[in-house]
């Protein structure tokens, strides 16, 4: 039956006029190595380093997790909350934007939402009544040319409806919708994983637990938000970017953007991803820049700029985004000490990673694929400052060398490599060597696993992320050897500092 139907189809199509098809690839582009990111995920990975601002009811109660029964009047800023000041301080630190917490687990909302009475505008405090963090945060970010987004806790210890479908439909989804209306160019919505447990729940004072993987109707929520804010990555519960597995500011030296779906694989592979993972789920590392908690506490101290620089190397420098938390205090602004630390960090990043020596070098590669009509693949693409051009060898080539030569020796400390991830993450082993004469080579940073590259990898040549800035290495030649790759390696930028 099946066979004769097949023959019939074939016979019928044989009668049709032949359609001439040509399968040419005039650009000679390498095939993608799956899985590959969505365009939204690529844009998100380009954000690299941004801030987290935990501000809200807990700022006034000294708690980290409010119970949900706090009086609206307890939220009492001593001045008008100033998101512009938050963002300006973070811009000075070299950050590209930030995420403002506008509803934490206590359910208290920092905007005039219609979904609950538990909100800032119902406080007796005059500054609170005027507060609208999403409005002011979005406006400041747009003005400063920074990325912005919001943290909205799915878990709500205030809502009487938490645990029912009504909560998801009439409270949580509506709150996400209201927030999406504050800007279609949001880059990320942050959905925390903590949920279920004891709480006030409208006076019930009981314990409620949900299955987060089904309860929040994430597929519909994601589609809905993307219609309003097309480039908004839905973090965590939203399944477009993954938690790096710790809150201490480090990713695995080996770190793939790929992951198998499902809590089991995610739980055990968050820090390093999975080489054979079948979805693109890049890592984000959330870490605190202060000692006490996510929210402001009177006894907090600021971590040193040197420690934050180390975090940067161990996250952004290991193929992970870094979201660094700086908490505004009771006045609704960042404390001066935090502002100063951020400024020092920015100066450190500029002086250590701000002056790229690679464009002054000549670059030679062991092999480049044949250029296409509208695309080239040669070594010059590695140092042209253009993320959309890349170097590529032939299909089937999985090892290669790239050699940079300066007219005279330079003092160097860091090498930064970036894969053209639009076509998948590929490199699985590499090494870096330097030479002063072109014949005697020294392998650098042998203690650091030189495995994956991904979106970005920064190698401190002295092999230490905690004391990376030393007298440096004198080198006239720098050789990067790709030793193994899932498919032909594609790099778009090499930088040397």
What's the min distance (Å) between Cβ of 194 and ligand FUL?
A: 4
Residues within window 178-217 making contact with ligand FUL, judged by CB under 6 A: 192-194
Residue closer to ligand FUL by CB (options 250, 294) is 294
Residue closer to ligand FUL by CB (options 111, 477) is 111
Residue closer to ligand FUL by CB (options 104, 426) is 104
What's the min distance (Å) between Cβ of 237 and ligand FUL?
A: 11
Residue closer to ligand FUL by CB (options 303, 487) is 303
What's the min distance (Å) between Cβ of 64 and ligand FUL?
A: 6
- Asked if residue 72 lies in contact with residue 162, where contact means CB atoms within 8 angstroms, the answer is no
Interface mask (CB under 6 A) for ligand FUL, residues 124-143, using x and -? --------------------
Residue closer to ligand FUL by CB (options 190, 430) is 190
Beta pairing partners, 290: 302
Residue closer to ligand FUL by CB (options 148, 414) is 148
What's the min distance (Å) between Cβ of 34 and ligand FUL?
A: 31
What's the min distance (Å) between Cβ of 266 and ligand FUL?
A: 15
**Element (H or E) spanning 344, and its range?**
helix 336-353
Residue closer to ligand FUL by CB (options 79, 194) is 194
The residue number whose beta carbon is nearest to ligand FUL equals 194
Q: Which two tokens stand for residue 67?
A: 């119970």
Integer Cα distance of 4 and 81 in angstroms: 75
Give the closest residue to 445 by CA, choosing from 465, 426, 425. 465
**Beta-carbon count within 10 A of 443 CB:** 12
Question: Is residue 294 within the footprint of ligand FUL (CB under 6 A)?
Answer: yes
Integer Cα distance of 269 and 54 in angstroms: 27
Query: Longest C-alpha distance within the chain, in Å?
Result: 84
Residues within window 228-287 making contact with ligand FUL, judged by CB under 6 A: 286
Integer Cα distance of 260 and 277 in angstroms: 4
Integer Cα distance of 221 and 44 in angstroms: 19
Integer Cα distance of 328 and 245 in angstroms: 25
What's the min distance (Å) between Cβ of 245 and ligand FUL?
A: 12
Residue closer to ligand FUL by CB (options 294, 455) is 294
Question: What are the percentages of helix, strand and coil residues in the chain, rounded to 5?
Answer: 30, 25, 50
**Element (H or E) spanning 287, and its range?**
strand 283-288
Exposed/middle/buried for residue 35 (C-beta within 10 Å: 0-12, 13-18, 19+): middle
Integer Cα distance of 174 and 155 in angstroms: 14
How big is the site for ligand FUL, counted in residues (CB under 6 A)?
6
Integer Cα distance of 61 and 258 in angstroms: 40
What's the min distance (Å) between Cβ of 102 and ligand FUL?
A: 12
What's the min distance (Å) between Cβ of 96 and ligand FUL?
A: 19
**Element (H or E) spanning 223, and its range?**
helix 218-228
Contacting positions for ligand FUL (CB under 6 A): 64, 192-194, 286, 294
């Amino acid at each position: 039956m099946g066979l004769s139907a097949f023959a019939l189809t074939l016979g019928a199509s044989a009668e049709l006029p032949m359609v001439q098809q040509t399968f040419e690839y005039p650009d000679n582009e390498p095939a993608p190595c799956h899985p590959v990111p969505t365009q939204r995920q690529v844009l998100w990975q380009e954000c690299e380093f941004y801030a987290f601002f935990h501000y809200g009811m807990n700022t006034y109660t000294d708690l980290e997790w409010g119970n949900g029964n706090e009086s609206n009047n307890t939220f009492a800023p001593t001045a008008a909350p100033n998101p512009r000041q938050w963002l300006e301080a973070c811009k000075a630190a070299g950050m590209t934007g930030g995420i403002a917490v506008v509803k934490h687990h206590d359910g208290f909302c920092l905007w005039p939402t219609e979904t609950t009475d538990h909100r800032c505008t119902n406080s007796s405090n005059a500054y609170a009544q005027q507060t609208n963090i999403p409005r002011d945060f979005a406006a400041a970010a747009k003005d400063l040319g920074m990325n912005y987004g919001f943290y909205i806790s799915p878990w709500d210890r205030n809502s009487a409806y938490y645990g029912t479908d009504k909560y998801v439909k009439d409270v949580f989804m509506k709150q996400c919708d209201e927030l999406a209306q504050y800007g279609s160019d949001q880059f990320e919505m942050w959905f925390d994983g903590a949920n279920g447990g004891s709480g006030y729940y409208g006076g019930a004072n009981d314990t409620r637990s949900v299955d987060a993987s089904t309860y929040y109707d994430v597929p519909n929520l994601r589609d809905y938000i993307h219609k309003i804010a097309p480039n908004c990555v839905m973090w965590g519960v939203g399944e477009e970017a993954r938690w790096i597995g710790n809150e201490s500011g480090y990713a695995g030296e080996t770190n793939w953007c790929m992951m198998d779906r499902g809590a089991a694989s995610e739980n055990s592979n968050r820090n390093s991803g999975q080489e054979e993972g079948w979805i693109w789920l890049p890592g984000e590392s959330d870490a605190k820049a202060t000692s006490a908690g996510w929210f402001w506490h009177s006894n907090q101290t600021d971590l040193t700029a040197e420690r934050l620089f180390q975090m940067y190397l161990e996250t952004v420098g290991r193929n992970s985004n870094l979201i660094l938390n700086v908490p505004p205090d009771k006045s609704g602004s960042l404390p001066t000490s935090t502002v100063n630390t951020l400024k020092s960090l920015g100066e450190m990043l500029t002086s250590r990673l701000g002056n790229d020596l690679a464009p002054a070098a000549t670059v030679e590669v062991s092999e480049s694929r044949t250029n296409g009509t509208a695309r080239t693949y040669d070594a010059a693409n590695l140092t042209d400052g253009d993320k959309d051009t890349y170097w590529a060898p032939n299909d089937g080539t999985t090892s290669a060398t790239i050699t940079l030569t300066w007219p005279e020796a330079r003092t160097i400390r860091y090498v930064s490599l970036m894969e053209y991830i639009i076509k998948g993450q590929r490199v699985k082993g590499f090494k870096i060597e330097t030479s002063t004469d072109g014949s005697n080579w020294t392998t650098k940073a042998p203690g650091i696993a030189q495995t994956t590259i991904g979106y970005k990898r920064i190698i401190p040549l002295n092999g230490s992320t905690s004391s990376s800035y030393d007298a440096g290495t004198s080198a006239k030649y720098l050789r990067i050897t790709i030793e193994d790759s899932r498919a032909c390696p594609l790099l778009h930028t090499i930088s040397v500092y």
